[in-house]
């Protein structure tokens, strides 16, 4: 790597990290540090609980990257000034992007280092599902709902129950929650909302914990003040770590002022902002609004598309998710043409945001318009009365 380019260290090759790689590999010498040797398209992981071999369609091995990066396998422990320390060594950088994401319970999200071992883990999970006749899912967010639907739609005779301390998809629009609940009822999933009772784990053959993301401690310059209680990194409006101007942050681990919902899409969008700022150090852009968009799989070729407060369900969202999976994985694999399709896809999302905002505005203005008309009618009536009275005189 002896050339005039600066060294960019990317820590974590997930959605945010891979987006930064695809957009900056021509300008920087890139070193990727990841505890795993592969990228995994997590949003479709439950398909691998039923068909483990499909993991190979959802992954790419960093050592085969076509972006000319240097891949080092290791787990980041801390960063001091411009040196990142990992279990086994240290790396000096000119710029760094921390994109280490979040953790989820095994086997849903895994930090198993080798892809072949991840495949074995998924095969074992499939076996456990096959052998269990009663399965409990704890948590009624997107992950819990997807998992319950995936299992029940594939194994109709099994008892699948889901308990949640609030409502199903409580953070999503009501229409999405209603659609998901109807689908779950149709599939025969037993749902218990607002569950405050004792643990039911011992009543079931298999239990999946789907209570949400967690974060690991990584130390930066011995300054713990930059952590929020959840251990995410606080960033400024340019997505820079507040105490180190050479270090950017994006994705699940990043706590920005928008406090956006943590999704693969928001990780990619933040990755794009970081990539732009790395390439234009004298023309930094501020983090822009990231729309809240999500596709929730409901098993059996059905899904719900959520865009801010707008939702629709059925076969089309299922196809959209499949299309996104193919585009994203092939873009990150460096397959020719897919980066352009991926970019167009992201522009379409922003175009939808503009349309959505126009509709919201019209909705807000419409009652105002009728109020003005009503006021005008009253005024007109008053003037007519005055004219009538004047005539009488
Ligand atoms: C089951 C499930 C389903 C989901 N479905 C959807 C969906 O349908 N749509 C959607 O938009 N979002 C979905 N999400 C959320 C989405 O997957 C995350 O928001 C997204 O993966 C975040 O991307 P990221 O780049 O921040 O981190 P990640 O994708 O988590 O990648 C982080 C990378 O950093 C590496 N890493 C972690 N710690 C270290 C360390 N200390 N040192 C070195 N490397 C490290 C990891 O190995 C990993 O490769 C889902 C999440 C789950 C768990």
pLDDT in tens, 239-253: 998 888 899 999 999
Does ligand 1 have an atom closer than 6 angstroms to the CB of 170? Answer: no
Does ligand 1 have an atom closer than 6 angstroms to the CB of 263? Answer: yes
- pLDDT at residue 53 in the model: 98
Q: What is the mean pLDDT of residues 356-381?
A: 75
Distance of CA 84 from the midpoint of ligand 1 (Å): 21
Does ligand 1 have an atom closer than 6 angstroms to the CB of 317? Answer: no
Task: Check pLDDT > 80 for residue 79.
Answer: yes
Measured from the Cα of 17, ligand 1's closest atom is: 25
Please report where in the chains the tokens 């349309």 appear, as a residue: 355
Distance of CA 19 from the midpoint of ligand 1 (Å): 13
Q: Whose CA is nearest to atom 35 of ligand 1?
A: 12
Does ligand 1 have an atom closer than 6 angstroms to the CB of 78? Answer: no
Distances (CA, A) of 309 to 37, 43, 176: 38, 21, 9
Q: What is the token pair recorded at 28?
A: 């920087």
CB 295 within 8 A of CB 320: yes
Please report where in the chains the tokens 């639907």 appear, as a residue: 149
> Rounded to an integer, what distance in angstroms lies between the CA atom of residue 334 and that of residue 289?
28
Average pLDDT along the chain = 92
Does ligand 1 have an atom closer than 6 angstroms to the CB of 294? Answer: yes
Distance of CA 263 from the midpoint of ligand 1 (Å): 8
Q: What is the mean pLDDT of residues 307-319?
A: 95
Model pLDDT for residues 178-213, shown as the tens digit of each residue: 999 999 999 999 999 999 988 888 899 999 999 999
Using H for helix, E for strand and C for coil, what is the string for 126-189? HHHHHHCCEEEEECCCHHHHHHHHHHHHHCCCCEEEEECCCCCCCCCCHHHHHHHHHHHHHHCC
Does ligand 1 have an atom closer than 6 angstroms to the CB of 109? Answer: yes
Task: Check pLDDT > 60 for residue 377.
Answer: yes
Q: How confident is the model at residue 224 (pLDDT cuts 50, 70, 90)?
A: very low
Does ligand 1 have an atom closer than 6 angstroms to the CB of 93? Answer: no
Q: Enter the DSSP assignment of 205.
A: S
Task: Check pLDDT > 60 for residue 122.
Answer: yes
Does ligand 1 have an atom closer than 6 angstroms to the CB of 247? Answer: no
Q: Which of 207, 198, 193, 9 lies closest to 93, judged by CA? A: 9
> Rounded to an integer, what distance in angstroms lies between the CA atom of residue 255 and that of residue 262?
10
- pLDDT at residue 367 in the model: 67
Q: Indicate the top mutation candidate among 9, 31, 100, 273 to test ligand 1's pocket, ranked by most ligand atoms within 8 A of CB.
A: 100
Q: What is the mean pLDDT of residues 92-99?
A: 97
Q: How confident is the model at residue 225 (pLDDT cuts 50, 70, 90)?
A: very low
Q: How confident is the model at residue 229 (pLDDT cuts 50, 70, 90)?
A: low
Higher pLDDT, 1 or 315: 315
Q: Which range has the top average pLDDT, 130-134, 228-232, 348-352? A: 130-134
Count other Cβ atoms within 10 Å, centred on residue 10.
30
Model pLDDT for residues 331-344, shown as the tens digit of each residue: 999 999 999 999 99
User: What is the model's pTM?
Assistant: 0.91
Q: What is the distance of C-alpha 24 from the center of its chain?
A: 22
Measured from the Cα of 18, ligand 1's closest atom is: 25
> Rounded to an integer, what distance in angstroms lies between the CA atom of residue 311 and that of residue 349?
14
> Rounded to an integer, what distance in angstroms lies between the CA atom of residue 393 and that of residue 381?
19
Q: What is the mean pLDDT of residues 83-90?
A: 94
Distance of CA 244 from the midpoint of ligand 1 (Å): 24
CB 275 within 8 A of CB 24: yes
Does ligand 1 have an atom closer than 6 angstroms to the CB of 199? Answer: no
Distance of CA 14 from the midpoint of ligand 1 (Å): 6
Q: Whose CA is nearest to atom 37 of ligand 1?
A: 100
Q: Which of 179, 176, 183 lies closest to 306, judged by CA? A: 176
Tell me if the bond preceding 170 is cis, omega within 30° of 0.
no
Distance of CA 15 from the midpoint of ligand 1 (Å): 7
Task: Check pLDDT > 90 for residue 1.
Answer: no
Task: Check pLDDT > 90 for residue 159.
Answer: yes
The least confident of 29-38, 62-71, 297-306, 383-392 is 383-392
- pLDDT at residue 233 in the model: 87
Distance of CA 39 from the midpoint of ligand 1 (Å): 9
Higher pLDDT, 113 or 80: 113
CATH code reported for the domain at 133-209: 3.50.50.60
- pLDDT at residue 227 in the model: 52
Distance of CA 103 from the midpoint of ligand 1 (Å): 7
Q: Indicate the top mutation candidate among 41, 42, 151 to test ligand 1's pocket, ranked by most ligand atoms within 8 A of CB.
A: 42
Looking at the chain, the whole-number percentage of residues with pLDDT higher than 90 is 76
Domain boundaries, the chain: 133-209, 343-393
- pLDDT at residue 365 in the model: 72
Distance of CA 109 from the midpoint of ligand 1 (Å): 8
Distance of CA 12 from the midpoint of ligand 1 (Å): 9
Does ligand 1 have an atom closer than 6 angstroms to the CB of 160? Answer: no
């Amino acid at each position: 790597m002896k050339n005039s380019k600066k060294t960019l260290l990317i820590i974590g090759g997930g959605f945010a990290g891979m987006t930064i790689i695809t957009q900056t590999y021509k300008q920087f010498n890139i070193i990727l540090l990841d505890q795993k040797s592969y990228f995994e398209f997590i949003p479709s992981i439950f398909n691998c609980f039923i068909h483990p071999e499909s993991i190979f369609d959802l992954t790419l091995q960093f050592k085969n990257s076509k972006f000319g990066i240097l891949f080092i396998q290791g787990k980041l422990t801390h960063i001091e000034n411009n040196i990142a320390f990992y279990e086994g060594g240290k790396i000096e950088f000119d710029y760094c992007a921390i994109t280490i994401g979040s953790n989820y319970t095994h086997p849903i999200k895994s930090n198993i280092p080798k892809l072949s071992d991840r495949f074995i883990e998924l095969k074992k999970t499939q076996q456990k599902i096959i052998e269990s006749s009663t399965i409990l899912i704890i948590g009624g967010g997107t992950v819990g709902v997807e998992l319950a639907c995936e299992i029940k739609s594939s194994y109709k005779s099994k008892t699948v129950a889901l308990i949640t301390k609030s409502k199903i998809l409580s953070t999503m629009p009501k229409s999405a929650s209603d659609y998901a609940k109807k689908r779950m009822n149709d599939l025969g999933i037993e749902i218990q909302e607002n569950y405050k009772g004792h643990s039911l784990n011992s009543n079931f053959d298999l239990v999946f914990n789907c209570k949400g993301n967690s974060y690991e401690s990584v130390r930066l310059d011995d300054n713990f003040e930059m952590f929020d209680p959840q251990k995410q990194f606080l960033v400024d409006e340019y997505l820079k770590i507040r105490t180190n101007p050479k270090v950017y942050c994006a994705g699940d681990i990043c706590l920005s002022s928008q406090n956006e919902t943590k999704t693969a899409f928001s990780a990619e969008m933040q990755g794009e902002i970081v990539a732009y700022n790395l390439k234009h150090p004298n023309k930094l852009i501020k983090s822009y609004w990231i729309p809240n968009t999500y596709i929730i799989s409901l098993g059996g070729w059905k899904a719900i598309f959520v865009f801010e407060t707008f939702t629709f369900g059925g076969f089309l969202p299922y196809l959209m998710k499949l299309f996104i999976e193919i585009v994203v994985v092939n873009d990150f694999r460096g397959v020719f043409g897919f980066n352009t399709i991926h970019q167009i896809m992201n522009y379409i999302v922003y175009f939808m945001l503009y349309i959505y905002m126009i509709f919201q505005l019209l909705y807000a203005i419409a009652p105002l318009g009728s109020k003005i008309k009503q006021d005008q009618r009253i005024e007109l009536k008053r003037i007519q009365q005055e004219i009538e009275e004047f005539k009488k005189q």
